[in-house]
Copies of this chain bind each other. A is one copy, B any other.
Amino acid sequence: MSTMMTISDTAAWLSEHDNYLIFTHRRPDGDTIGCAGALAQGLREAGKTAFVFNNTETTRRYLRFVAGFLAPDDYDPDHVVFVDAASLNLFPKNSDKYTSAVSLCIDHHPSNTLYAQRTCLDGSFASCGEIIYEILMALSGSISAETAECLYAAVSTDTGCFAFSNTTANTLRVASLLINAGAPHREINKLLFRTKTRNRIKLEGALYSGFEYYFEGVVAISTITRDMIEIANVSEDDMDDIASLPGVVEGARVGITIREMSSPDGCKVSVRTSSPLVNAHAVCERFGGGGHPMAAGFTIDKPVSEVKEALLRTLREFL
């Protein structure tokens, strides 16, 4: 049983204890990274010892937000804190010894499995960063420029720089306060939202040139072949959020991304939908996958052409 904590409970608990090790989740995004950096910074400013676990999956673009807080190998924490993570299997690589005793989880995913001894959870927030903001305000009454920088990264990443549909009035209110507190929003926006590598540009060129449309344009399919990946020489970091591309086409309510994997004949498929007729989870379940109603996926051991045909047959039942 996890003890459910309010924001002020959480601030009080953090204030009463010490020696924290903060974890980011697998395939870390700006929200988990920004939250971890902000919490470490805020706790240190409150006189505590706090480090961030060295999640080796942290990509180049996010490293700056935790670089100053990475725990030394011999650090022996009193308390493990996991931020922006709904379940224990999101603990990063090489952290098995910490998963048995998570003192505190701070999260905004409604699907949180309440795996921690204490849980501060509010699914109404667009980003976990907004919760950390409230906790640090309750803890210290103010936010430093260093903390604001991390929190701005958290809040802006999870909302696609305030353009995604999860954005709320509170997201913008907190972002405004973070800029007033000194967050370098221009620099972060440029870094996170207005920069693409040359390889990413090349891949997008190939993808956009090959978009296919079905059902009078309601379905847009983007196919990423092994050849495209090789020619563009893209890394996993370059492929960030690549599955969102077909969904931006005017009139397309279902955006499908089929990625040819390196294993022979294998494909990874992502389905995004804004159509009330198509439940992405239901579509992907047919192929042994799943997810959410608006975003789901599956992997399959078949070549691209067969996968595409099977998907279109399935979609015909829905549309």
Residues of A within 8 A of B (CB): 161-165, 167-173, 175-177, 179-180, 185-186, 189-190, 193-198, 201-202, 204-211, 213, 217, 247-251
Contact = CB atoms under 8 A, between A and B. Distances in A.
Contacts of A171: 176
Contact of A175 (B172, B202, B210, B250): B172
Given A168-B179, A179-B168, A189-B163, A209 B211 contact: no
Contact of A205 (B175, B205, B248): B205
Nearest to A201: B208
Contacts of A162: 161-163, 172, 175, 189
A196 B249 contact: yes
Q: Shortest 6 CB-CB distances between A and B: which pairs? A: A205-B208, A205-B209, A172-B176, A169-B179, A173-B176, A165-B186
Contacts of A175: 162, 172
Contacts of A186: 165, 167
Contacts of A176: 169-173, 176
Contacts of A251: 198
A198 B213 contact: yes
Contacts of A163: 161-163, 189, 193-194
28 contacts: A162-B172, A162-B175, A163-B163, A163-B193, A165-B186, A165-B189, A165-B190, A167-B186, A169-B176, A169-B177, A169-B179, A169-B180, A171-B176, A172-B176, A173-B173, A173-B176, A176-B176, A194-B248, A198-B211, A198-B249, A201-B248, A201-B249, A202-B208, A202-B209, A202-B211, A204-B204, A205-B207, A206-B209
Tell me what chain A mostly uses at the interface: helix, strand, loop, or mixed: helix
Contacts of A196: 248-250
A60 to B, nearest CB: 10
Contacts of A213: 198
A286 to B, nearest CB: 28
A211 B199 CA distance: 11
A106 B251 CA distance: 36
A78 to B, nearest CB: 37
Contacts of A173: 172-173, 176
A164 to B, nearest CB: 8
Contacts of A194: 163, 247-248
Contact of A189 (B167, B170, B180, B217): B167
B210 A205 contact: yes
A185 to B, nearest CB: 7
B248 A195 contact: yes
Given A204-B204, A207-B205, A208-B208, A198 B217 contact: yes
A185 B166 CA distance: 10
Nearest to A189: B163
Nearest to A193: B163
